[in-house]
Structure 1
Amino acid sequence: MIIGTLGIFLLSACSKSAIISPEEASIQPETKTEGVVSAQAVPVGTVIYTSNGYQLTLTNNDPNFSETVRQKIVDIFFTKYPQLLTRFNPGVTKSIKYVIDPNYNGVAYTSGTTVTYSAAWFQNNPQDVDVATHEIMHIIQAYTGGTPGWLTEGIADLVRYRYGVNNAAAGWSLPAYSSSQHYTNAYRVTARFLAWLENRVNASIVTNLNTALRNKTYTANTWVTLTGKTVDQLWADYAANPAL
């Protein structure tokens, strides 16, 4: 819990929680129930951050979780999530959860309104904080059943490309076009195709595709409705001149 307005809070090595603002979150904790909190690692436990009607609950289960990474992924929620909500899904929840899991061997995954991150991934890739940008888009998407996985992941990586804050430092970028690719490859391959479509065909196509997917009105004909061409015809145009 917060004591006054100096960013001081009590957080044991177990799981007591505190409610703080993003501004206070940038201040190093000064008091702990047992000793002094390291400036380099985040205590194990749960903290709730609130600002302007948005709430992020972060549960850290890794005693070695980086304070720098924590600050960056918290900042991504409070700066990018409102932008994505406004553009893609104004009715989506403003309250989400992050979980830092030392037993998860992947990178990150989203289930409902909870994003679980691999502690090991962040330890080995501390610059790759825009994993959070990709994952919070999945909460914004809120697609339910029957949506093409390749398009879901492609849109999330397109969002990482457009809204990411640290992609260059993380060594993350969209791949150059290759004849071996296909729009159904998902993730960055599909994201680059979508970026090309936004730049060269229809600036609102990703917004409109997202709406169709959320409303369960997406079909193969959606591409024709939005652009006058099938997705295969659009891919052929892209392959002929793939420069963004």
Structure 2
Amino acid sequence: MKKTSILSILFLMLMAGTSYAQQTSNYNKNGYRLTFINYDNTLDTALKTKLINTFYKVYPELANAYNKKTLKAVTMIIDTNYKGVAETANGIVTISSRWMHQRPEDIDVVTHEVMHIVQDYGQSTGPGWLTEGIADYARFKFGVNNPAANWSLPAYKTTQNYDNSYRVTARFLAWLEKSKPGIVKTFDGKMRDHTFTDDTWKQQTGKTLDELWKDYSANPTV
């Protein structure tokens, strides 16, 4: 009985500590609701404000540009236990507090992650590398603090390939947009309605993916 009582007290103390560490704030603006859950009580208040402001700046823009039917309610979690940089699933963006302490200017991690919410590809038939490439293209185009975060599209290298994903693919898409304005939006729509195939590249540009990459490699200026 005494053992049970001690365990109960320890459990209550643990729960009290958890509730103290978790700070939940709710925001509503321009038709979008953000639930901000912070497990890091050392997170700088100014940084928290920047993350929230970034959401309200870029998410409506991304929704308007790519998917007006995207979710109206999003949750953002600052997680002290998450080992990566950030991830998104089911309208929930999880960001590593460790990363934000190390890279406080990298607030456009929000831009990349909320683009995944806008994408809403589900079990898409399209390639995963294109999904991430489009998200980084969105960060390139709509990001609010990329220069301060020392984030940019990488210079072309002969060792690269279109399926390297993320910034490499994003740069290829930015190059493609020069001759085919709106092509990223087209790809995004086809990924979302599950009509994207390997033939989509030629259908939209007149060239295969390999032919496009060859042209890009010959003149990769963005």
TM-score in same-fold range (> 0.5)? yes
* 1:112 alignment counterpart: 90
**Runs ≥4 in structure 1, deviation > 3 angstroms?**
12-16
Match of 1:67 in 2: 45
Unaligned residue ranges in structure 2 (runs of 5+): 1-15
How far 1:112 sits from its partner (Å)?
A: 1.1
Contact 2:126 2:197 in 1 (8 A): no
TM-score, reference length from structure 2: 0.89
1:100-137 deviation per Cα after TM superposition (whole angstroms, max 9, x unaligned): 10011110000110000000000010000100000000
Equivalent residues of 2:85, 2:96 under 8 A apart: yes
Query: 2:12 matched to which residue of 1?
Result: none
Among 105, 124, 128, the alignment partner of 2:102 is: 124
CA distance in 2, matches of 1:226, 1:237: 16
SS at match of 1:239: helix
Matched, 1:54 2:32: yes
Secondary structure of 1:226's match? Answer: helix
C-alpha contact 1:197 1:205 (8 A) present in aligned 2: yes
Partner residue of 1:152? Answer: 131
Indicate conservation of the 8 Å contact 2:62/2:115, yes or no. yes
Per-residue deviation at 1:239?
0.3
| Corresponding residue for residue 77 of structure 1 | 55
Q: Residue 143 of structure 2 corresponds to which residue in structure 1?
A: 164
Q: Which residue of 1 aligns with 2:13?
A: none
Identify unmatched segments of 5+ residues in structure 1: 1-11, 17-42
**62-71 or 187-196, larger mean C-alpha shift:** 62-71
Looking at structure 1, the residues matched to 207 and 18 of structure 2 have their Cα atoms a distance apart, in angstroms, of 57
For 2:148, what is the secondary structure of its paired residue? helix
2:158 equivalent to 1:179 = yes
Q: State how far apart, in whole Å, the 2-side matches of 1:117 and 1:204 are.
A: 30
After the TM superposition, which residues 187-198 of structure 1 pair with which residues of structure 2 at under 5 Å, given as runs? 187-198=166-177
Q: Contact 1:102–1:119 (CA<8 Å) still a contact in 2?
A: yes
Taking only aligned residues, the RMSD between alpha carbons, in angstroms, comes to 1.5
* Structure showing greater relative contact order (alpha-carbon pairs closer than 8 Å, 6 or more residues apart): 2
Conserved? CA contact 1:151–1:186, under 8 Å: yes
Q: Percent identity?
A: 48
Task: For residues 43-94 of structure 1, give each alpha carbon's deviation from its aligned partner in whole angstroms, at most 9, with x where no partner exists.
Answer: 7410001012110000000111121221111111111111111111111111
Alpha-carbon displacement from aligned partner over 1:138-183 (angstroms, at most 9, x marks no partner): 0000011133110000000000001111111111111000110000
Report the residue type matching 2:168 in the other structure: V
Asked if the contact 1:14/1:45 (under 8 Å) is kept, the reply is: no
Q: Which amino acid aligns with 1:143?
A: Y
Distance in 2 (alpha carbons) for counterparts of 1:13 and 1:129:
28
2:19 and 2:193 mapped to 1: Cα distance? 39
TM-score by length of 1: 0.82
The alignment of Structure 1 onto Structure 2 pairs a total of residues equal to: 206
Residues 13/168 of structure 1: CA separation in 2 closer, same or farther (3 Å cut): farther
Shift of 1:234: 0.6
Q: CA deviation at 1:14?
A: 6.3
